[in-house]
Amino acid sequence: MSLRVLIIVGDATETVDTLYPFYRLQEEGFQPVVAAPEKRTYQMVLHENRPGWTITREWEGYQIQADIAFEDVVPEDYLGIFFSGGRAPEYIRDHPDLIRITRHFFDENKPIASVCHGVEIPARAGCVKGRRMATVAKCQFDLEVCGGIYVNEPCVIDGNLVSGRTFHDNGVYVGPWIKMLVAARRKAHGSNGNGNGAEHYRFATAPRD
C-alpha cells in the first residue's frame, strides 16, 4: 500500500486549512500529494472574520505547487484524501475527475478528512447522504441539501470520515484522521505499522518538483 495521501486544492484554497495537514502528514511518515485541476502553482488565501465585518475578508497567502492534475490521479494508489477549504471547492467541485476521485475514497472506505468549504466537493459528488459532518456554518445548506447531517462541533467522526468547521479546529480533527491513516498503514504493512522506518522518512521528506 502506498504511503501517499491526496490533498485537494485549487486557486483560493485556504492557507492554514491546507498547510497544517500537509506538514502533519510528513511528521507521521506519509507523503502528501497535492492534486488540482492542472499541475501548476496555485495561489492560496487567508480567510478571517474581522471585527465589524459580516463576511469573510480575504488576503493572499502562500503559493503551493500541485504535484498532479486530477485527470492523472489513480485513486487506488493513495491511502487517504483531504478536502481543503477556502473558495477553491466552489470552483473545482464540478470537475469530472475530482468527482471520480472523491467517490473512490468513499466507496472504498478509506480515511477522508474535510474542513470548512471542503464539504462542497463530496456533497457535489453525491457522497454525503446520511453522513454526519462538520463544516463552516455558511455551508450547512450545501451539506443538508445533498442529504448530509450538519454537526456544529470541532471534530466529527463518522466511520472513515473526519471533519472540522474551520482552520480553528485543525488541532482537534486532524489528529483523529492521522490516526486512521496510521491504522490503515499498519494493516497494509504489518503490525509494526511502518515497515522500514528509514525508507518512509526519506519518502516523506524528498524534495518536491
| Interacting residues of 87 by C-beta distance below 8 A, sequence separation 6+ | 12, 13, 45, 58, 117
pLDDT band at 206 (very low <50, low <70, confident <90, very high): very low
DSSP labels for 96-145? HHHHHHHHHHHHTT--EEEEGGGGHHHHHTT--TT-EE---GGGHHHHHH
Q: Place 193 in a pLDDT band, splitting at 50, 70 and 90.
A: very low
Task: Give the H or E element holding residue 158.
Answer: strand 156-158
Chain-wide mean pLDDT for the chain? 90
pTM: 0.88
Q: How far apart are CA 9 and CA 34, in angstroms?
A: 7
Q: How far apart are CA 71 and CA 1, in angstroms?
A: 21
Cell 459532518, located at residue: 133
Q: What is the pLDDT of residue 53?
A: 77
Cβ contacts of 39 within 8 Å, gap of 6 or more: 66, 67, 68, 69, 72
- What's the pLDDT tens digit per position in 113-170? 999 999 999 999 999 999 999 999 999 999 999 999 999 999 999 999 999 999 999 9
Find, among 91, 117, 103, the residue nearest to 36 by Cα: 91
Is residue 88 within 8 Å of residue 11, measured between CB atoms? yes
What are the b/e assignments for 154-166, b being 16+ CB within 10 Å? bbbbbebbbbbbb
**SS3 of residue 198 by DSSP:** helix
Query: How distant, in Å, are the alpha carbons of 21, 84, 90, 144, 195 from that of 10?
Result: 16, 9, 10, 24, 33
What is residue 61's predicted lDDT score, i.e. its pLDDT?
A: 82
DSSP 87: S
Q: How confident is the model at residue 47 (pLDDT cuts 50, 70, 90)?
A: confident
